[in-house]
Amino acid sequence: MLVSRTLVNRCAKMQHACKRNIAAQALKYKGYAVHKPHEKFELWEYEPGPLAPNDIEIKVTHNGLCHTDLHMRDDDWGLTAYPLIPGHEVVGTVTAVGDDVAGIARGSRVGVGWIRDSCRRCKNCLRGNENLCVKGYTGLIVGPNNFGGFQQVMRAPADFAYVLPDSLSSAAAAPLLCAGVTVYAPLRKHLKAPGMQVAVLGVGGLGHLAVQFAAKMGAAVTAVDIDPTKEQEAKKLGAEHFVEFNAAYEQCKGRFDVIINCVAVRINFQGVLGMLAPDGVAVQCGIPGGGAIIDLNLQDVVFGQKSMAGSIVGGRADMAEMLQFCADKGVEPMVQTMKLSQLNEALELLKAGKPRYRIVMETDI
């Protein structure tokens, strides 16, 4: 009796899937997790289950450390599901691909950022702006069993993983996957002509990248920070001027076309509005915890035709463009590396504002 080739192939696929599921049942991943707010991270194991058809498996080599990891650890935004394994500036090598994955192969060096998934069908997703998904995107570490990069191996949808340009080192690429795209996207949107006056508030993990991006885009950049020792570094990164924060509200009245606020604490937003030139826009990139409120004088907004805007990471189009921009223009974060086993120590340094300017964790599990 003849057996059709289609039936043979189908049986072979079923056998392969069965073997893979049996192997997955015995597989365990190990990472650094917390089980309630304000805990210290400890090693924890879990069973990942079968690899989904559209997912990839990544052997993690590097993670950028972000204030969001602190906020998620402590559930400052009411989004955290425990147990939590954070890490959303992830770089590593693809070790396995799901059956339906195209465009990413085993051995590829990839980066994964804040967005895990979106509806892929709304008008914003179809334009490459998944960060503005009408139905709401899924954060990489938001929701039960959505684990990030603070582990040996992680899984993520292939559509939100990015093959990295060869000229970007893994340590340099990691912070770009959240901090980089968060400040790149609004600058790309609001800088409409060379020579526009841009202020970057807070020369830290976000701000030192914003200074570089704005300068490389042809803007005249003023860096604003509470720490005067950052002046020389800011100017080396591309700033033309440096102003201490407390003096900026008076010294810089009506000066800026675009303000990128990278500060993650409450500040004088009315003072920030006063620093804008007519028709200027202030973009809030840093996110303070605790439900921060912006209070503004409406008359100043209307008569000055000024705008306050927000920016939350970027979509796939922004991410791909930003990574190539960095490779082409030589934009790199200033990083200090620590071992992932030093995660709790690194988070304390971050909380104290001590990194210059981004900590990158090297996986050593």
User: Is 210 in the same domain as 94?
Assistant: no
The answer to the question of residue 23 being in a domain is no
Which residues of the chain are modeled with pLDDT < 50?
Answer: 1-3, 22, 24
Residues 235-241: contacts with CB under 8 Å, at least 24 apart: 237/208, 237/211, 237/212, 238/211, 238/212, 238/214, 239/200, 239/211, 239/215
- Cα 41 to Cα 34, 157, 347, distances in angstroms: 5, 25, 10
User: Is 174 in the same domain as 35?
Assistant: yes
At 324-363, the pLDDT tens digits run 999 999 999 999 999 999 999 999 999 998 999 999 999 9
CATH of the domain at 161: 3.90.180.10
The answer to the question of residue 296 being in a domain is yes
Domain final position from 276, 292, 310:
310
User: Is 166 in the same domain as 213?
Assistant: no
At 94-133, the pLDDT tens digits run 999 999 999 999 999 999 999 999 999 999 999 989 999 9
Measured CA to CA, the distance from residue 349 to residue 330 in angstroms comes to 27
User: Is 170 in the same domain as 202?
Assistant: no
The answer to the question of residue 256 being in a domain is yes
**In the chain, how many domains are there?**
2
**DSSP SS3 for 303:** helix
Q: How far is CA 57 from the centre of its chain?
A: 20
User: Is 159 in the same domain as 288?
Assistant: no
pLDDT score for 2:
47
User: Is 187 in the same domain as 258?
Assistant: yes
The answer to the question of residue 14 being in a domain is no
- Domain span at residue 165 reads 29-178+314-362
Measured CA to CA, the distance from residue 257 to residue 353 in angstroms comes to 28
pLDDT score for 27:
86
CATH of the domain at 225: 3.40.50.720
User: Is 327 in the same domain as 297?
Assistant: no
Domain final position from 277, 295, 310:
310
Q: What is the DSSP string of 211-234?
A: HHHHHHTT-EEEEEES-GGGHHHH
Measured CA to CA, the distance from residue 98 to residue 304 in angstroms comes to 53
pLDDT score for 290:
66
User: Is 300 in the same domain as 336?
Assistant: no
The answer to the question of residue 354 being in a domain is yes
